[in-house]
């Protein structure tokens, strides 16, 4: 009898502590808000077998807008990268952008230009949010393209 | 006798586990979202309003000034605006002034601010807003970003992310000018 009472008390103590904590702060608030370069880490631009690949690592809980990822070659001028090959991503309703697709985790953007010559420098633009916490303004980075042998 | 002892041990173990688990949950959920430490006098910042007029933050000196950086493309910013409207309505007469610098295109803000019913001055810009955020302590480049400046021009609170109503109300009450 005593054992049953103590067990019930113990369980109640745990539930009460957890419950009180959940009232103090909703779960999403406990996540750290990252600086934009930690939320979205742009990987080196790599050229291999006539293909340009750029990765962006989105931190857990962060996502990129698929249609905001844009890449242009800036050296040589006029270089055409062609269409991007991005993952399909997941459907998302955004209060401002409407129905969009978003990308999480490691995002690889692949380009297969018509020419076999490697571009020297590219500029990538991207934008995203940390879910239910903050959003980041459009970002732009210039990358030197590295050849992979 | 032996059974009673093992029961007691089990109870003690459960109590320790419950206390530890509860504390871990509490620590996990109760982490503050305030990233920057406040401090110092707010620098002078000039940004244009929606009519293109330059406005200085110092023109609101003497009031409790909440500078809320936002954008029309920032969903968390939009979520907290009703709370800001309510606070301005409730505490404006007692010395609160909210100002909303938007990192956005002028037209987007000209259209968006009235739709949101914003009842406080809205400023607008692009790189100027980034500079203003950094001057007011932003190191993350994320919106929303809010800075509370007391009547003497001292930064008393900074936060990335949405305010909860109770949290903001408590802060405002704590720092409203005496009067």
Cβ-based contacts of A95 with chain B (< 8 Å): 75, 78
Question: Cβ of A95 and B78 within 8 Å?
Answer: yes
> A14 pLDDT band (50/70/90 cuts)?
very low
pTM above 0.80, yes or no: no
Disruptive mutation site among B27, B33, B127 for chain A (greatest number of A CBs within 10 Å): B33
Cis before B144 (ω within 30): yes
Q: Which of B94, B70, B95 is nearest to B82 (CA)?
A: B70
Q: What letter does residue A36 receive in the DSSP assignment?
A: H
Q: Which helix (H) or strand (E) holds A110?
A: strand A106-111
Which value, in Å, is the radius of gyration of the alpha carbons in chain B? 22
> A35 pLDDT band (50/70/90 cuts)?
very high
pLDDT at B25 over 60: no
pLDDT tens-digit series, residues A57-99: 999 999 999 999 999 999 998 899 988 889 999 999 998 899 9
For residue A143, give both structure tokens.
Answer: 């990358």
For residue A125, give both structure tokens.
Answer: 């633009």
B82 in contact with A at a CB cutoff of 8 Å? no
In this complex, the residue of A24, A34, A135 whose CB is nearest that of residue B30 is A24
As a whole number of angstroms, the distance between CA B68 and CA B83 comes to: 12
Between B121 and A3, whose confidence is greater?
Answer: B121
Give yes or no for a contact between B38 and B158, defined as CB atoms under 8 angstroms apart.
Answer: yes
> How do beta strands B145-149 and B155-160 pair?
antiparallel
As a whole number of angstroms, the distance between CA B21 and CA A109 comes to: 43
Complex ipTM value: 0.76
How many contacts, defined by CB atoms under 8 Å, are there between A and B? 116
For residue A81, give both structure tokens.
Answer: 């990268």
Question: Cβ of B141 and A25 within 8 Å?
Answer: no
The number of CA neighbours under 13 Å toward the Cβ of A38 is 8
pLDDT of res. A82:
86
The mean of the pLDDT values for chain A is 83
Residue in chain B lying closest to A20 (CA): B26
């Amino acid at each position: 009898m005593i054992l049953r009472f103590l067990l019930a008390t113990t369980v109640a103590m745990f539930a009460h502590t957890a419950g009180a904590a959940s009232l103090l702060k909703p779960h999403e608030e406990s996540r750290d808000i990252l600086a934009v370069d930690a939320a979205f880490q742009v990987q080196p631009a790599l050229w291999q077998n006539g293909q340009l690949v750029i990765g962006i690592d989105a931190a857990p809980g962060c996502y990129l807008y698929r249609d905001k990822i844009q890449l242009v070659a800036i050296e040589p001028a006029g270089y055409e990268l062609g269409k991007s090959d991005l993952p399909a991503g997941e459907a998302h309703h955004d209060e401002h952008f409407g129905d969009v697709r978003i990308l999480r985790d490691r995002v690889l953007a692949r380009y297969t230009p018509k020419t076999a010559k490697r571009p020297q420098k590219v500029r990538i633009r991207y934008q995203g949010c940390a879910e239910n916490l903050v959003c980041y303004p459009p970002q732009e980075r210039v990358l030197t393209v590295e050849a992979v042998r | 006798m032996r059974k009673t002892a093992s029961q007691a041990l089990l109870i003690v173990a459960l109590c320790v586990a419950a206390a530890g688990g509860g504390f871990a949950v509490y620590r996990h959920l109760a982490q503050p979202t305030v990233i920057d430490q406040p401090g110092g006098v707010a620098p002078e910042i000039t940004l244009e309003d929606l009519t293109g007029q330059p406005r200085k933050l110092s023109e609101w000196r003497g009031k409790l000034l909440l500078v809320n950086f936002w954008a029309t493309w920032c969903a968390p910013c939009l979520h907290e605006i009703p709370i800001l409207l309510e606070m301005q309505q409730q505490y404006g007469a007692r010395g609160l002034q909210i100002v909303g610098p938007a990192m956005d295109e002028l037209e987007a803000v000209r259209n968006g601010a009235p739709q949101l019913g914003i009842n406080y001055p809205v400023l607008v810009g692009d790189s100027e807003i980034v500079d203003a955020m950094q001057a007011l302590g932003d190191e993350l480049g994320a919106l929303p970003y809010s800075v509370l400046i007391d009547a003497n021009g001292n930064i008393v609170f900074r936060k990335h992310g949405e305010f909860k109503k109770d949290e903001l109300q408590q802060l405002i009450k704590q720092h409203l000018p005496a009067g």
